[in-house]
Amino acid sequence: MPTSNSRFTRVAIVYNPDKPRALEQSQKLSHWFKYHKIQITVANKVIPSMKTANMVMALGGDGTVLQVARDVSEWNVPVLGVNVGHLGFLAATETGAATRTLKRVIAGEGRIETRTLLEVTFRSGAKSYGPFLGLNDVVLRSGATGRVLWLESRVRDRVLASYAGDGLIVSTPTGSTAYNLAAGGPIVHPDLDILLMTPICPHSLALRPLVLPAYEVIEVDVRKPSAEAILTVDGRLIRTLDPGERVVIRRSLKQVNLLMDPDRTFYQVLQTKLKWGGQ
């Protein structure tokens, strides 16, 4: 039976309980790790004992990777995603190639990508709430009524733009291939140190996506005559905001380390997931 002299002596697996294939894959990988004399912890969410792991595997879709990455951001533990969902932009590998990828990672051939996190706070009256962390994006969008949302963005304490439409997306380079892309924003390489602001269905053709340096702090006010605005971070509902309330978005001091297959580049992901591979 093989023994492991790798630095990956303790591994944690977090699987999406809503995906039967994720549970099945977690069981297969658990047996594989035990065969290779690597300690393994398996759960359907991040638990405190995973803090001592050398690597946390996230089995599911991009949503699972996002959740796990946020949950372990304070531990500085690399996250390796195994895609059992649809697109899987954040995954290091697919289910059929998981053990091949793990062999290379354990041999020290894995590539770590450091990704920016967003930190979000909002103010209501005299109270401040947060911070909330996001790896993909922060979104302010119109509520259930579908009425026009009026927003005003500020940078360096000065008004940047006023928006009338369905909302506004502030995303990281990682999130550029998520809601930002669907709303017409640019695809950005994850190594770039920038933030993106993309209006959602603006009522003016003059309003276009904007790329900002990551050190900027973005403030967004909900203005009258808006109805309520829905604040989400990485797709999670945070709060419903009323006119007069403000959201503050900045780059977090925390970061996420994604462990990737050395053969899986960002450009290859674009080619396969977005069907850029040609005929």
Active-site residues, by number, are: 62
Q: What's the rounded Cα separation, in Å, for the pair 19 and 256?
A: 24
Residue showing tokens 């450091």: 114
Strands 210-213 and 194-200: antiparallel
> How wide is the angle at C-alpha 48 spanned by C-alphas 88 and 61, nearest 5°?
10
Cβ neighbors of 193 (< 8 A, separation 6 or more) are: 116, 213, 214
Kindly state the tokens that stand for 31.
């047996």
- Yes or no: say if 115 and 89 are a contact pair by the CB < 8 Å rule: no
Q: Please give the backbone phi and psi of residue 98, each rounded to the nearest 5 degrees, phi first.
A: -60, -45
